[in-house]
Amino acid sequence: MFLLLSSGIVLCIGLFIMIISLLASMPFQSKAEMKKFWRIQSYIMIGFFIAAVLIYTVPFAFLP
């Protein structure tokens, strides 16, 4: 249960960072900059997703 909660917290932190950075930069960007923003944000969210999956699955490899 703790592993599921901690991986969920990591995903929520990633979504929170994405929302904050979107709201902070939205009025100042052109269309090309927004495309670049979404590409970078997708890489960041993939990183948070991989971290959450590893937090959830790696301890099961060490359990008997």
Going from N- to C-terminal start, the domains of the chain cover 2-62
What is the per-residue pLDDT for 63? 76
Contact predicate 50/10, CB 8 Å: no
This prediction has a pTM of 0.75
What is the per-residue pLDDT for 43? 92
**Residue 26: pLDDT above 80?**
no
Tell me the average pLDDT of the chain: 85
- What are the CA-CA distances from residue 43 to residues 24, 32, 36, 63 (Å)? 19, 17, 11, 31
Say what percent of the chain tops pLDDT 90.
12
pLDDT tier at 46, thresholds 50, 70, 90: very high
